[in-house]
Amino acid sequence: MVVTAQLVKELRTATGAGMLDCKKALEETNGNIDEAIKWLREKGITKAAKKSDRIAAEGLVGMAMKGNKVVVFEVNSETDFVAQNQQFLTLLDQIGATLVNSNVSAVEEALQLDVNGQTLDALITNAIATIGEKITLRRFTILEINDNQSIGTYVHSNKRIVAALLFDGVISEEAGKQLAMHVSAMRPQFVSREEMSQDFLASEKAILTAEAKNDPKNAGKPDNILEKMVEGRLNKQLAEISLLDQAFVINPDQKVSDFLKANNVSVKKMIRYEVGEGIEKEQVDFAQEVMAQVRK
């Protein structure tokens, strides 16, 4: 029997389970809704699915290293209390070990990885059923260190912020950690201005231009003066979000670019994860995506 979108929608409404789980259940039960509900219950999915609409914006970040690979990742829960639960901490370690032993690049792929005979997705689902809160693997990045490369990492003591920098060139462990600490504290959005797109630069300039023109203190000023003011403010703003332009947090009299030059390295990749950042927007985007699929 062909599993239709309408059947998936009906099963999802009845159980709260995810669309992929509903589709799988219907395929396994030849499209029988009642049997599909039973199948989901037997798999322990519906118990976890009841929590699927909650927002999991707490949790912890993690980092795992093996050989020439490093993975940084974020696992979310609904409350910070559960994030300190020993079972959650064990799950965090299992996820890190699974990811660092893989070559996947997307969460969907990662959830299908084998963990002692079951998928990572099933492992997380079982943890949800036991712990009683929604838990999600939100994101991860795997960095591989080639010859003449090195890495700097830092996980904040509360495990809510992790930073990793991949360098071209060899830097000491301490210096690499200091730079990762800087990224954690100063939140640069880009490694350098060269990474900023023309659309981003144009948008930022347009915002500053509008602000300048709407400021009563600038009334009557010639356009060329306003243009110089905007350029000055834009340069200052870009310097604040560009890693290479920032004052080094360990030595504010020195720019990060100068510290890197002194250590004969350059930054190839920068990762910074903070628990929960941007999660509300992701929830809105996901809801819109689900509705679009249901309407098909």
Decide which of 119, 144, 169 is a domain's last residue.
144
Last residue of a domain, one of 96, 127, 144: 144
Q: How far apart are CA 53 and CA 70, in angstroms?
A: 32
* Residue 98, domain member (yes or no): yes
Euclidean distance between CA atoms 125 and 51, whole angstroms: 11
Tell me the DSSP string of 165-218: EEEES---HHHHHHHHHHHHHH--SBSSGGGS-HHHHHHHHHHHHHHHHH-GGG
- Nearest of 102, 77, 100 to residue 89 by alpha carbon: 77
Q: Is residue 79 part of a domain?
A: yes
CB 124 within 8 A of CB 27: no
Last residue of a domain, one of 110, 144, 178: 144
- For residue 126, what are the domain limits? 55-144
Q: How confident is the model at residue 92 (pLDDT cuts 50, 70, 90)?
A: very high
Look at the chain and count its residues.
296
Q: Establish if 253 belongs to a structural domain.
A: no
pLDDT in tens, 225-267: 999 999 999 999 999 999 999 999 999 999 999 999 999 999 9
Q: Which long-range contacts (CB under 8 A, 24 or more apart) does 235-238 make?
A: 237/204, 237/208, 238/193, 238/196, 238/201, 238/204
* CATH classification of the domain holding 124: 3.30.479.20
**Does 18 lie in the same domain as 83?**
no
Phi, psi of 155 (to 5 degrees): -115, 120
Tens digits of residue pLDDT in 141-175: 999 999 999 999 999 999 999 999 999 999 999 99
Same domain? 45 vs 61: no
Asked whether residue 87 is assigned to any structural domain, the reply reads yes
User: Residue 229 domain-assigned?
Assistant: no
Does some domain include residue 161? no
**140 inside domain:** yes
Q: State pLDDT tens for residues 55-89.
A: 567 999 999 999 999 999 999 998 888 888 899 99
What is the tally of structural domains in the chain?
2
At residue 206, φ and ψ (nearest 5 deg) are: -65, -40
**Does residue 172 fall inside a structural domain?**
no
Question: What's 13's domain CATH number?
Answer: 1.10.8.10
